[in-house]
């Protein structure tokens, strides 16, 4: 699938965690390199690109960051990246195309019909418009419209903070009101998804992401001291059983995995995802009303910080008497520096810096 969408982007190692090559858009090739973590989670991927590509995508960095956090795999992200690049190139070209008087009269007329109270921003060239809307739960949302010189013959490019692709149905006789109505319909279709995540954000301690966007589909939820679970919620089926990844010492997370596997048949799509997790795992998540984040979010035992490049500690010593947390990158670097450590491919084995129990850590690309 990746070869079909990006034939010039080639793997650089056997693990499939490093890719380098070119992304083609509008007949031009742009050099880039993509590094994936060992678990292939796109939210932790790193994208390195040429100076020219970085300059073109400068105004779209926040959009790409959102897509990295919400795309399930590399192929999906590359399709999104190519789409954003096409939009950026087209908008760059449009800046040099004089817009006829009809463009301005049509756009202003559309905005007046829609209502200026729904407009959050208009740039000085009347080429970018941001519209605001409130869903039925009172959440605020924005849609950014990039209009080209042929509007309304051609539709505007729409950028939204959604976990799924937002495609506008457009005909030459359509207006911004039609786009806005489709935007409202999309908001309503995602209502249950955002309800689910709002309940998690409001009732539990979410360790990551620290400031989730509306497009973010994953939450790492604290369970106890140095123990957490990352849930990946399906935007189209938010009450279905999510993908769950437990983080913590083996003697703590193994019983939790066992409970989840044994109780899967009890999952009830008629009740909330959070309540289902509590019932299946037979636990209560730490409450924001009772506990402080510092009660269970401990600093890394090596760098003595909680955040490292935006990530919280995700490795824990398995010895029940120790249980010290570490960032994966810190632990790998520490073990690499020990003369007694041994390495097999990208996995290194060595002693915990606190209790001398043998630890293993994978290299982060």
Task: Output the tens digit of pLDDT for each of the chain's 365 residues.
Answer: 777 888 888 888 888 889 999 988 888 889 999 999 888 888 888 899 888 888 888 888 888 888 888 888 888 899 889 888 988 887 776 655 678 888 899 999 999 999 999 999 998 888 899 999 999 999 999 999 988 888 888 899 899 999 998 989 999 899 999 999 999 999 999 999 999 999 999 999 888 887 888 999 999 898 887 788 999 999 999 999 999 989 877 888 899 999 999 999 999 999 999 999 999 999 999 877 666 666 666 788 888 777 777 677 888 887 777 878 888 888 888 888 888 888 877 778 888 888 877 666 665 54
Collapse the DSSP code of 223 into the 3-class scheme (helix H, G, I; strand E, B; otherwise coil) and give the result: strand
- CA gyration radius for the chain? 24
Report the distance separating Cα 313 and Cα 101, nearest Å. 57
The whole-number pLDDT of residue 365 equals 46
Report the distance separating Cα 276 and Cα 175, nearest Å. 43
Is the previous residue joined to 209 through a cis bond, with omega within 30 degrees of 0? yes
* Backbone phi, psi, residue 2, to 5°: -65, -40
Q: What is the dihedral of CA 245, 248, 249, 251, to 10 degrees?
A: -60
* Cβ contact 35:71 at 8 Å: no
* 45 to 201, 269, 305, 323: CA distances (angstroms): 24, 32, 21, 28
Report the distance separating Cα 1 and Cα 76, nearest Å. 10
Full set of structural domains in the chain with CATH: 1-94 (no CATH), 101-195 (3.10.110.10), 204-281 (3.10.110.20), 315-362 (3.30.40.10)
């Amino acid at each position: 699938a990746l070869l079909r969408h990006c034939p010039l982007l080639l793997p650089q190692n056997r693990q499939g965690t490093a890719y380098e090559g070119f992304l083609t858009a509008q007949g031009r090739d742009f050099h880039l390199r993509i590094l994936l973590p060992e678990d292939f989670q796109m939210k932790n991927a790193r994208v390195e690109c040429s100076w020219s590509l970085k300059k073109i995508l400068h105004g779209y960095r926040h959009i790409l960051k959102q897509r990295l956090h919400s795309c399930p795999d590399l192929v999906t992200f590359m399709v999104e990246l190519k789409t954003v690049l096409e939009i950026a190139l087209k908008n760059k070209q449009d800046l040099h195309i004089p817009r006829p008087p009809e463009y301005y009269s049509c756009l202003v007329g559309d905005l007046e019909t829609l209502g200026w109270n729904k407009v959050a921003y208009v740039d000085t060239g009347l080429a970018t418009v941001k519209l605001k809307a409130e869903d039925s739960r009172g959440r605020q949302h924005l849609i950014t419209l990039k209009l080209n010189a042929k509007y309304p013959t051609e539709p505007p490019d729409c950028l939204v903070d959604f976990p799924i692709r937002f495609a506008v149905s457009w005909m030459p006789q359509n207006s911004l009101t039609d786009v806005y109505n489709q935007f409202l319909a999309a908001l309503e279709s995602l209502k249950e998804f955002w309800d689910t995540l709002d309940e998690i954000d409001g009732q539990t301690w979410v360790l990551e992401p620290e400031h989730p966007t509306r497009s973010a589909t994953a939450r790492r939820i604290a369970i106890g001291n140095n123990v957490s679970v990352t849930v990946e919620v399906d935007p189209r089926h938010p009450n279905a059983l999510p993908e769950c990844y437990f983080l913590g010492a083996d003697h703590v997370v193994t019983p939790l995995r066992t409970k989840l596997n044994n109780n899967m048949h009890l999952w009830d799509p008629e009740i909330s995802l959070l309540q289902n997790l509590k019932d299946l795992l037979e636990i209560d998540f730490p409450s924001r009303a009772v506990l402080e984040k510092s009660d269970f979010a401990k600093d890394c035992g090596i760098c003595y910080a909680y955040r490292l490049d935006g990530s919280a500690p995700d490795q824990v010593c398995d010895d029940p008497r120790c249980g010290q947390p570490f960032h994966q990158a810190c632990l790998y670097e520490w073990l690499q520096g020990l003369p007694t450590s041994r390495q097999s491919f990208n996995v290194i084995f060595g002693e915990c810096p606190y209790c001398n129990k043998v630890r293993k850590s994978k290299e982060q690309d």
